[in-house]
Amino acid sequence: DLHRRRHSFPTRRSSDLVPVVAVEQEDLPDARVVEPLADVLDHADQRVEDVRARGRKGWLAAFRDATVLKVAYGWGLRRRELTMLETVDFGRNPKAPEFGDVGVLSVRWGKAKSGGPPRRRSVLSVFPWAVEVVQEWVSEVRPLYAASSPVLWPTERDSRMGIVYVNKVFARYRDELGLPAELGPHCLRHSYVTHLIEDGWDPLFVQQQVGHAWASTTAIYTGVSSDYKNVVLRRALDERFKFGGT
């Protein structure tokens, strides 16, 4: 049953999570906290199940909200980029045919330079689980809204979801879990950067994915875990001593 299916977050569990940089502006490198990203996404999933089990209205909105947070993380999006998405913004990537029609995301409302128009960029899909989330939403769940426009996140009033609503959704789940008030939806974007770096993706690729003009900005976003740093250290030491280093 679609409505009872849990929208899982299979790539990382709470015990696997790395530091999340919880800042709402890209120029603030100081505010960092370590909290479990997966807990927030799992909690959003659980809310869908709870609402449905109690036979209450609102399961569709809860399902949408859980999907919104996963897409924010799955493509490393800013809040405005996220809320301005439309169904036509996803497309095929010939180099990744296994992702079907969700191989690349065209971001039309990227952060503008001072006085300039929104900057566009293409974000390649990298997480198979995120592709499945979008495919399910677009083909099976979103049609239940009977939206009259191609907005990806329609509301019950047939309008577009706003940034303030995204903030409220994240804050609600954060507070219900007892997480620090400093955490906001932007931490999902920071987590995306950190996890790609930890998983070995090229830093230039990550920089281009999130639309940073400067590598130094991407570096601010990256808060690698102590486990990751120890892995890198161990790898370097093993290589050194393997070749007779001292």
58 phi-psi bin (left φ>0, alpha ψ -120 to 50, beta other): left
- Residue with the larger pLDDT of the pair 234 and 147: 147
Do 192 and 75 contact (CB within 8 A), yes or no? yes
The residues assigned a catalytic role are 78, 111, 186, 189, 212, 221
Do 192 and 76 contact (CB within 8 A), yes or no? yes
Give the DSSP letter of residue 162. Answer: -
What mean pLDDT value characterizes the chain? Answer: 80
Whole-structure pTM value: 0.80
**Tokens representing 115?**
């006085």
**Tokens representing 81?**
């980029």
Task: Name all contacts of 143-151 with Cβ < 8 Å and 24+ positions apart.
Answer: 144/60, 145/60, 149/86, 150/86, 150/87, 150/88, 151/85, 151/86, 151/87
Residue carrying structure tokens 């809040």 = 79
Query: Does residue 136 surpass a pLDDT of 50?
Result: yes
Average pLDDT over residues 47-76: 92
pLDDT tens digits, 153-189: 999 999 999 999 999 999 999 999 998 888 899 889 8
Interatomic CA distance for residues 41 and 14, integer angstroms: 10
pLDDT tens digits, 186-222: 889 888 888 888 888 888 999 999 988 777 766 766 6
